[in-house]
Amino acid sequence: MAKDTITLGGGCFWCLEAVYLIMEGVEHVESGYTGGTVANPSYEQVCTGRTGHAEVVQVTFNTDVTSLDEILAVFFTIHDPTSLNRQGADVGTQYRSAIFHHSEAQRNAAQETMDRITAEGIWAKPLVTELVPLGDYYKAEDYHQDYYANHPYQGYCRAVVEPKVAKFRKQFAHKLAAVSAA
Catalytic residues: 12
Q: Which of 105, 92, 18 is nearest to 49 (CA)?
A: 92
Q: Of the candidates 78, 97, 75, 77, which has an alpha carbon nearest to the alpha carbon of residue 86? A: 97
Q: Closest by alpha carbon to 10, among 25, 24, 27, 31?
A: 31
Q: Reduced to 3 states, what is the DSSP secondary structure of residue 37?
A: coil
d(Cα 156, Cα 172) in Å, to the nearest integer? 23
Residues 6 or more apart whose CB falls under 8 angstroms from that of 104 comprise: none
